[in-house]
Amino acid sequence: MARRIYDKEHVKAPGTPLSSKEMYQLPGTIEYTPVAKYRFTTGQALSKFLEELKRGRIAGRKCNNCGRVYVPPRMYCEFCYKPTSEWIYLEGTGTVVTAVVSYIGTARERLEKPEIIGIVKLDIDNKEPQGYDFPGLFHRFCNVSEDDVKTGKIIGARVRPRWKLEEERKGDITDIECFEPIEG
Amino acid sequence: MSMWRKKCTTPEYPGKMETEKYVYTPGLHGLEFFKTLKEKDAIVATKCGETLYIPPTTLCPDFSKGEVVEVPLTNPWYIASYTIVYEDMDGNKLDKPQILALLVPEEDIVGGIIHYVKAEPEEIDVGLMVKAKLKPREKREGKITDIEYFELVA
Amino acid sequence: MKPNIHVKDKVAIVGAGLTLFRRRMLETSRELAWEAAREALESANLELKDIDCIVIGSAPDAFDGVHLKGEYLADGSGAISKPMVRVYVGGGTGVMVPIAAWWHVASGLCRTVLAVAEEKMSPAHPHPQGVFAYIWDPVVERPLGPNLLWIFALEMRRYMHVCGASKEDIAIVSVKNKANALNHPCAQAAAKITVEDVLNSEVLVWPVHRLDVSPVSDGAAALILAREDIARKVTDTPIWVEGIGWTLDTTHWYNRELAYPRYVEYAARMAYKMAGIERPWKEIDIAEPYDPFDYKELHHIEGLMLAPRCQAWRLAREGYFDRTGELPTSPSGGLLGVGNPIAAAGVMKVAEIFWQLRYEAGERQVKKPVHYGVAQAWGDLMQVGTVVVLSN
Ligand SMILES: [Zn+2]
């Protein structure tokens, strides 16, 4: 059986590349706009979480079997596969785990002003939890410069949520405007 | 189990598909099909052995590449099956019932074209002869709507 | 081999085929699948009638813009009137395809399997990145207006911080893979570039620049897997599937340490155990770790236990993972160089190990002798690891 060498010299791979212009002008090319709207229910754990955001606090669920605290809350422990045990309420202070500067939006459009986004590991009883998994939120940061991200100054920094005014909150993750560094 | 059933408000979250649009390419034989429809009064089919496939499939059942053959739209075609549509997509009654048919150029083929037949519901039947009403050449865009409809041959 | 499970039949890969990987292709999804499948059959001197079962892999339906994508791809994948299944684990799908094909044969159910992966990302407009919005949680994540690159950037930044790697250290992977792809007949993004080129390319989400990322692609890839007796009949050089492994972590990606992919390690341990590999860093000769981003290759090299934690970038700097190095990684050129039609890219990686172990990679053949190779893919919200170990 003949050996078949698979490299550029021996193989011409099938396929017909098109330029973007060619694609739109081909006879038979069809354009279609989907009209798909959805209503998502928030479920037991997240509906309580959103209600508590309105009150200016962060609700988590604790599993008394393994001691894990879940933020965002879940009604079941992923590890014990049992219902979580109780609600606990966090101040929202925490430590920055990672942060980046985004110059683009959801559909890759350039943003006028770059955004700083990151992950906060939330304190339990004013202490930073240890381990591979932890309660945390993914959110925007304020009062953080692009340089703070690039130099790494922001990683490990202590932050707290900046809440919207109570009357402006609507039970949404954006009731927290952003996380900002705690001075001093 | 009681905690799972605890009454709880579950507000709903809206979402919508962010995609602006999809652009679908016609494919290898699809391109031939629409090019032919645009430039000639014909379509193409794929011939695998003695069997004709419409719309043309790029691949024959044995995975070989089929032969592309032209099928004229100027000859009579036949109604292989049909349905009479009385309502639109939202369930509103149409002013005039629409006839949608599976049309074939001859008996021994696989597939056919789905298109409108201009006829009264009481006139329609399987096996009737029809002919394609094509848009004038200069108005054709390489779309299935380049055929306006099929009409009964008296 | 020390199998820790009962395997009825030993399984080999006996053929592989790819289409070009390009930003836009004329072919429909099913035609791409057919072109790759035909290449694979031809390479094994087999015909469709020799195939018992079909496995299809394709990532979200929203890319091609066709629901029931498995069924849609069925005719092009040769599945008409045959047992067929589609598997899907996000970006991990590509390596899940040979895993699923393996159990079809190993169980004794099928003698031969045609395994096909396809992705056509060009239909979604204005950019396929928009379609990714639907992988986010609709309540706590989507209201923040995320872009897919955010999660990668966040993970990359965390890796840099924990492991002390700089942008320059990571860019080396992009330079290596794009250069490796120069000899690949399907490559979309092969190039001779420098670390400076990567650093000077458009910043998308810092630390991710454009040249840190694989391109958007249309393409398909296929493999033929066969039972031992058939494999030995059709080829002198069957490539044995020695081990498979796959695991998932939770979608709550920001509740986890992102610097290390534990799910990849678990998947790798499963595959190594089956293959009887105890010291992968010594016993694996060649690897195709999943590289949709340059840092991802380093991340996965560590997850696959081919380098100690946080050491992959140091070794990359020394040329350890080059084609001429001690443990060549992504000799194909990877997703960064060949392209990233999601599921098809994973199969392309397995196909590369197949060709390398047969010494058929031509210009891309690594310089050292090779006996054991590993291919891996990763996917969804930082949570899927799929691993295949092959030998010659
Ligand atoms: Zn628990």
- For residue B17, the model assigns a pLDDT of 65
Centre of ligand 1 to C-alpha A86, Å, is 12
CA dihedral C307, C309, C312, C314 (to 10 degrees): -120
Confidence at residue C138, expressed as pLDDT on a 0 to 100 scale: 87
Q: Give residue-wise pLDDT tens across range B50-95.
A: 899 999 998 998 999 889 999 999 999 999 999 999 999 889 999 9
Residues of chain C found within 8 Å of residue A12, distances taken between Cβ atoms: 185
Number of domains within chain A: 1
Amino acid type, C77: S
Q: Which residues of A touch B37 (CB under 8 A)?
A: 27
Is the Cβ pair B25, A47 closer than 8 Å?
no
List CB contacts of B7: < 8 A, sequence separation 6 or more: none
Render the burial of C114-138: b for 16+ CB within 10 Å, e for the rest. Answer: bbbbbbbbbbbbebbbbbbbbbbbb
Class of domain C11-125+215-391: alpha beta
Q: What is the DSSP annotation of C117-180?
A: EEEE-TTEES-GGGGGGGGS-TTTTGGG---HHHHHHHHHHHHHHHHT--HHHHHHHHHHHHHH
- Domain positions in chain B are 13-152
Chain C residues touching B61 at Cβ < 8 A: 80
Structural domain boundaries in chain C = 11-125+215-391
Cα gap C98→C223, rounded to integer Å: 8
Read off the amino acid at residue C276: G
Give A2's contacts (C-beta < 8 A, 6+ positions apart).
none
Mutate: best of C13, C27, C157, partner A, most A CBs <10 A: C157
Which among B3, B10, B18 has the least Cβ separation from residue A83?
A: B3
Question: Contact A107/B3, CB-based, under 8 Å?
Answer: no
Cross-chain residue pair C32–A11, CB shorter than 8 Å = no
Type of residue found at B96: K
User: Is A20 a member of any domain?
Assistant: no
pLDDT in tens, A83-102: 999 999 999 999 999 999 99
Bridge partners (DSSP) listed for residue A39:
B14
* pLDDT for the residue A154: 96
* Burial tier of A9 (Cβ tally within 10 Å: 0-12, 13-18, 19+): exposed
Nearest C-alpha neighbor of A24 from the set B142, C330, C31, C266: B142
Distance from CA of B32 to the nearest CA of A (A): 9
Compute, in angstroms, the gap from residue A68 CA to the centroid of ligand 1: 6
C377 CB burial (10 A radius; 0-12, 13-18, 19+): buried
CB C362 within 8 A of CB A9: yes
Residue C75 tokens, joined? 């005719």
A102 belongs to a structural domain: yes
Contacts of A172 in chain C (CB under 8 A): 143
The answer for C 213-242 residues in CB contact with A (under 8 A) is 218-219, 235-236
For residue A53, give its domain range.
43-181
Helix (H) or strand (E) holding A41: strand A37-41
Q: Give me the residues near ligand 1 (ion), CB cutoff below 5 Å.
A: A 63, 65-66, 77, 79-80
**Which chain C residue shows the shortest CA-CA distance from A135?**
C255
Most distant pair of Cα atoms in chain B: their distance: 73
**Does C25 sit within 8 Å of B30, measured CB to CB?**
no
Average pLDDT, integer, range A131-146:
95
Instruction: Evaluate whether ipTM surpasses 0.95.
Output: no
* % of residues, chain C, pLDDT over 90: 88
Centre of ligand 1 from the C-alpha of residue A72, in Å: 15
- Residue A148, φ and ψ in degrees, nearest 5: -60, -35
* Percentage of the residues of chain C whose pLDDT score is greater than 70: 99
CATH class of B13-152: mainly beta
Q: How many whole angstroms separate alpha carbon C37 and alpha carbon C230?
A: 19
β-strand pairing of C53-57 with C84-87: parallel
Contact predicate B77/B83, CB 8 Å: no
Q: What is the DSSP pairing of strand C53-57 with strand C112-120?
A: parallel
Please tell me which residue of chain B has the smallest CA distance to A31.
Answer: B23
Ranges of residues in chain B with a pLDDT under 50 are: 1-8
The one-character DSSP state at B137 is G
Residues C27, A15: C-beta atoms closer than 8 Å? yes
Q: Cα separations (Å) of B70 from A85, B77, B105?
A: 71, 14, 11
Phi-psi region of A43 (alpha: psi -120 to 50; beta: other; left: phi over 0): left
Stretch A144-156: mean pLDDT: 96
Q: Does a structural domain hold residue A76?
A: yes
C136 to chain B, closest Cα gap in Å: 11
Question: What is the mean pLDDT of the segment spanning C246-265?
Answer: 94
Detail the DSSP E strand segments found in A91-184: 94-104, 110-122, 136-140, 158-163, 176-181
Contact B28/C31, CB-based, under 8 Å? Answer: yes
**What tokens does C20 get?**
């070009």
